[in-house]
């Protein structure tokens, strides 16, 4: 068995501290009261049903139409077992091509009928509203303060395997400085022995533009949704091509650094190039190791005859 360490091709540093200083942030006092705390997990009831589920929840803040791009992905995963639920959570911050993993944790929780619900984990907390709807994610550790706020819903899309993608108006709070943008809230679930879905992309641009692209793990291999202004789009099948690659020696694989995405109907085409990435090689038996990566990307979008500049996030996966 061979294990490779995390590799970050882009320079890394204390981005959260730097951003707070640049934005002039200061201490705004304690975060809002939470309905979910590490000492009182919700729904801790034995699950008499399946212990073969894998649940993925990703909540991503991104500036939209701003000169300075800020991306804050929160990545949550839960896997049920006979003993309970294996959980992980990661909080990332990206700015100007640099990535910082400011929070990461792995832990076990008791059996529950609702393993898909995410749990708070100090120093990350959740503000939960009626119907167990997450209203914000709060991170506070000393002088480092960051909140992701989920505001008014804009779009709600469902895939062929039941996965959901909800796009909200949203904000990131650095101390007491509020930065407006959009938030994508994504849910995917599957059985452990079913085909695993792959990478996904969240792209934003002017005119309240938002696009989500997903690798489904089944046929068609990629599908996409979008909105522009008040108009919504659905592309049941899109082609994703790596137009430029580089070698990632730690995993003995090539990884993309540029993509072209086209809808089969010809209505949409995106050309993306990496502006900063963080790659992690996992554990494997053979010479080729799995990869999880995060990219900041930018490029032109051609849609309905118009050309728009877009930026976004690519969650890259190779198994």
Specify the number of domains making up the chain.
Answer: 1
Closest CA to 220 of 240, 202, 206, 204: 240
Residue 287 backbone zone (phi > 0: left; psi -120 to 50: alpha; other: beta):
alpha
| pTM of the predicted protein model | 0.86
Q: Is 223 helix (H, G, I), strand (E, B) or coil?
A: strand
Tell me the average pLDDT across 203-229: 94
Expressed as residue numbers, the domain containing 277 is 2-318
d(CA 238, CA 38): 41
Is residue 13 pLDDT above 80, yes or no?
A: no
Predicted confidence (pLDDT) per residue in 85-121, tens digit: 999 999 999 998 899 999 999 999 999 989 999 999 9
Higher local confidence (pLDDT), 131 or 12: 131
């Amino acid at each position: 068995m061979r294990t490779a360490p995390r590799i970050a091709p882009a320079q890394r540093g204390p981005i959260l501290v730097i951003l707070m200083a640049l934005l002039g942030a200061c201490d705004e006092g304690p975060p809002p009261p939470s309905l979910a705390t590490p000492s009182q997990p919700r729904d801790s009831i034995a699950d008499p049903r399946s212990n073969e589920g894998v649940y993925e929840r990703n909540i991503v803040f991104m500036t939209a139409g701003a000169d300075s791009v800020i991306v804050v992905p929160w990545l949550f995963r839960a896997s049920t077992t006979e003993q309970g639920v294996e959980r992980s959570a990661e909080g990332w911050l990206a700015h100007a091509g640099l990535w910082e993993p400011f929070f990461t944790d792995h832990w076990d929780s008791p059996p529950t009928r609702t393993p898909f619900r995410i749990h708070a984990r100090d120093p990350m907390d959740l503000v939960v509203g009626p119907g167990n709807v997450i209203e914000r994610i709060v991170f506070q550790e000393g002088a480092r303060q960051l909140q992701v706020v989920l505001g008014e819903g804009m779009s709600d899309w469902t895939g062929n395997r039941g996965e959901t993608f909800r796009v909200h108006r949203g904000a990131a709070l650095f101390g007491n400085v509020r930065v407006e943008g959009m938030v994508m809230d994504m849910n995917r679930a599957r059985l452990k022995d079913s085909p695993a879905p792959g990478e996904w992309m969240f792209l934003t641009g002017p005119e309240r533009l938002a696009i989500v692209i997903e690798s489904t793990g089944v046929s068609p291999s990629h599908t996409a949704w979008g909105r522009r202004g008040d108009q919504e789009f659905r592309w049941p099948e899109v082609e994703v091509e790596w137009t430029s690659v580089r070698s990632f020696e730690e995993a003995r694989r090539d990884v993309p650094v540029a993509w072209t995405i086209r809808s089969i109907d010809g209505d949409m085409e995106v050309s993306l190039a990496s502006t900063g990435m963080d790659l992690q090689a996992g554990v494997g038996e053979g010479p080729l190791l799995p990869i999880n990566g995060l990219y900041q990307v930018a490029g032109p979008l051609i849609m309905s005859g118009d050309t728009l500049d877009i930026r976004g996030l690519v969650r890259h996966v190779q198994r």
